[in-house]
Amino acid sequence: MKRALITGITGQDGSYLAEFLLEKGYEVHGIKRRASLFNTDRIDHIFEDPHAPDPKLKLHYGDLSDTSNLTRLIAEIKPDEVYNLGAQSHVAVSFESPEYTADVDGMGTLRLLEAIRFLGMEKTCRFYQASTSELYGLVQETPQRETTPFYPRSPYAVAKLYSYWITVNYRESYGMYACNGILFNHESPRRGETFVTRKITRGLANIAQGLEPCLYMGNIDALRDWGHAKDYVRMQWMMLQQDAPEDFVIATGKQYSVRDFIRWSAAELGIELAFSGTGVEEVATVAAVTSDKAPAVKVGDVILRIDPRYFRPAEVETLLGDPAKAKEKLGWVPQITAQEMCAEMVEADLVAARRARLLRDHGYETSVTREG
Ligand code: NDP
Ligand code: GDR
């Protein structure tokens, strides 16, 4: 039985990857952070009682900023595969906390690689680094592929650039099986609530149910290549099963705007939107309501406005990946389209919004609006 260690197991990708590896028969170890509230929502459905005999999912307290903790865990667990998914993963937040982001997203990777080497496991333990399309930032070539030059545009991306190269360096210096998946944006109903897709699907579902009046957005003309997290974690595993380690771009090869994603989400709720105004004055008004999923919305309501606080000091305007290498060498093709994913996310957020509304209608407190 293979043993995997996942940093970031409580995150979107970590939760799907843990499910995937358990199905493959792995013993899965995950690092979770100590928090004052429970933070295992995304993996509670696969949680195993640690008192049960021989659990296949084991959680350990830890943090990517803590060298001794990481080294001890790797020494104890002796993983065959380490998936480094843990990160301060929000680009906008990285401008607020640049040093912390550098420490966790940059140095954290070095700490893991160095622990593996220091423990003499560099020939037995394979390493996956969660690299990102944000490395391309101010794009130098379209579509972006493995050979496209990087131009990071945020403290997050600069920290991830360090991680990308230190992973390559340990591969070349010590013969480690270490590789980068350069993943373009991928989403799901488990996406964090402050990333743009989830903010839209959750916000519009709440508006549809009368729980929030209006959604405030930043740069809605940004273009992204969106895939489904389930498709992308499969590829993370595939990258560690080859004869030789290589880096791969993982993307769909299709690009849409944030505005497109807003329109699709609204349409899933039976809401037709009309955009008017320009720049920070732009608004979206309800032009028609064609289903009973949005009982709280009326024609003429303004349900989306622009708020400059959601613009970043340096924007990444456009990203489009070329997944040809992944297709040719690994036979990987994404199964779920961006529109299908959007429909799944809206459906899940509508269920949550209806539940919240039911509670509110029966006099119970529900808190749905959060800064995003
Ligand atoms: P999430 O933000 O959903 O999850 C991040 C995970 O990292 C969480 O488990 C979080 O813990 C954990 N974490 C944060 N800080 C630390 C720390 N100091 N020490 C240990 N763990 C920490 O991200 P995703 O699942 O979406 O992404 C997974 C990885 O892939 C990240 O590295 C991200 O940067 C990268 N990536 C993501 C893409 C995407 O589109 N989703 C695209 C390309 C790369 P907690 O739950 O306690 O907050
Ligand atoms: P990104 O994802 O920055 O690409 O990083 P995010 O969903 O946050 O933004 C995508 C685009 O939407 C624009 N945008 C907004 N974004 C947010 N969060 N909130 C808003 O209100 C808003 N309005 C417009 C953004 O400016 C941006 O252009 C994600 C993360 O998962 C990273 O960890 C990962 O590395 C990259 O994807 C690939």
Reported as a single tens digit per residue, the pLDDT across 212-221 is: 999 999 999 9
Let me know: does 258 contact 318? Beta carbons within 8 Å.
no
Name the one residue in this structure whose structure tokens are 């944000």.
134
Let me know: does 26 contact 6? Beta carbons within 8 Å.
no
Domain ranges in the chain are 3-183, 196-223+257-315+337-362
Q: How far apart are CA 13 and CA 176, in angstroms?
A: 24
Whether pLDDT at 370 is above 80: no
The confidence score (pLDDT) of residue 336 equals 97
Q: Which ligand is nearest to the CA of 69?
A: 1
pLDDT in tens, 263-302: 999 999 999 999 999 999 999 999 999 999 999 999 999 9
Whether pLDDT at 40 is above 80: yes
Exactly one of 136, 156, 170, 232 is catalytic; which is it? 156
Task: Give the bridge partners for 57, in sequence order.
Answer: 28
Question: Residue 160: in which H helix or E strand, if any?
Answer: helix 155-174
Whether pLDDT at 371 is above 70: no
Pocket probe mutation, ligand 1, options 13, 134, 224, 258, max atoms within 8 Å of Cβ: 13
Question: Which atom of ligand 1 lies at the shortest distance from residue 12's CA?
Answer: 25
Provide, for the chain, the percentages of residues in helix, strand and coil under a 3-state DSSP scheme, each rounded to the nearest 5.
Answer: 40, 20, 40
pLDDT in tens, 151-179: 999 999 999 999 999 999 999 999 999 99
Distance 367 CA to ligand 1 centre (A): 25
The whole-angstrom distance between residue 102's C-alpha and the CA centroid of its chain comes to 18
Name the one residue in this structure whose structure tokens are 């590896």.
21
Q: What is the DSSP string of 50-115?
A: TTSSS-SEEEEE--TT-HHHHHHHHHHH--SEEEE--S---HHHHHHSHHHHIIIIIIHHHHHHHH
Would you say the CB of residue 130 lies under 6 angstroms from ligand 1?
Answer: yes
Distance 147 CA to ligand 2 centre (A): 24
Residues with Cβ within 8 Å of residue 138, at least 6 apart in sequence: 151, 153, 316
Higher pLDDT, 369 or 137: 137
Calculate mean pLDDT across residues 101-118.
98
Distance 282 CA to ligand 1 centre (A): 32
Q: Where are the beta strands (DSSP E) in 153-202?
A: 178-183, 186-187
Q: In the annotation, is 10 catalytic?
A: no
pLDDT in tens, 336-363: 999 999 999 999 999 999 999 999 999 9
In this structure, the strands spanning 215-217 and 271-276 are: unpaired
pLDDT in tens, 172-204: 999 999 999 999 999 999 999 999 999 999 999
pLDDT in tens, 64-76: 999 999 999 999 9
Q: How far apart are CA 242 and CA 181, in angstroms?
A: 13
Q: In the annotation, is 197 catalytic?
A: no
For the question of whether the overall pTM of this predicted structure is more than 0.80, the answer is yes
pLDDT in tens, 13-37: 999 999 999 999 999 999 999 999 9
Pocket probe mutation, ligand 2, options 16, 97, 185, max atoms within 8 Å of Cβ: 185
Question: Residue 5: in which H helix or E strand, if any?
Answer: strand 3-7
Q: In the annotation, is 177 catalytic?
A: no
The confidence score (pLDDT) of residue 367 equals 75
196-223+257-315+337-362 is classed in which CATH architecture?
Answer: Alpha-Beta Complex (3.90)
Whether pLDDT at 52 is above 90: no
Mean pLDDT of the chain: 97
Would you say the CB of residue 223 lies under 6 angstroms from ligand 2?
Answer: no
Distance 89 CA to ligand 1 centre (A): 5
Name residue 355's amino acid.
R
Cis peptide before 143 (omega within 30 of 0): yes
Backbone angles phi, psi at 255, to 5 degrees: -130, 140
The confidence score (pLDDT) of residue 261 equals 98
Confidence of residue 369 (pLDDT cuts 50, 70, 90): low
Q: What is the signed CA dihedral for 197, 202, 206, 209, rounded to 10 degrees?
A: 100
Q: How far apart are CA 226 and CA 256, in angstroms?
A: 8
Enter the tokens of residue 179. 């590789």
Distance 279 CA to ligand 2 centre (A): 18
3-183 is classed in which CATH architecture?
Answer: 3-Layer(aba) Sandwich (3.40)
Backbone angles phi, psi at 166, to 5 degrees: -70, -30
Name the one residue in this structure whose structure tokens are 């590829």.
235
Q: How large is the ipTM?
A: 0.99
Q: Give the total residue count for the chain.
A: 372
Question: Residue 31: in which H helix or E strand, if any?
Answer: strand 27-32
Percent of the chain with pLDDT over 70: 99
Q: How far apart are CA 32 and CA 40, in angstroms?
A: 8
321 three-class SS: strand
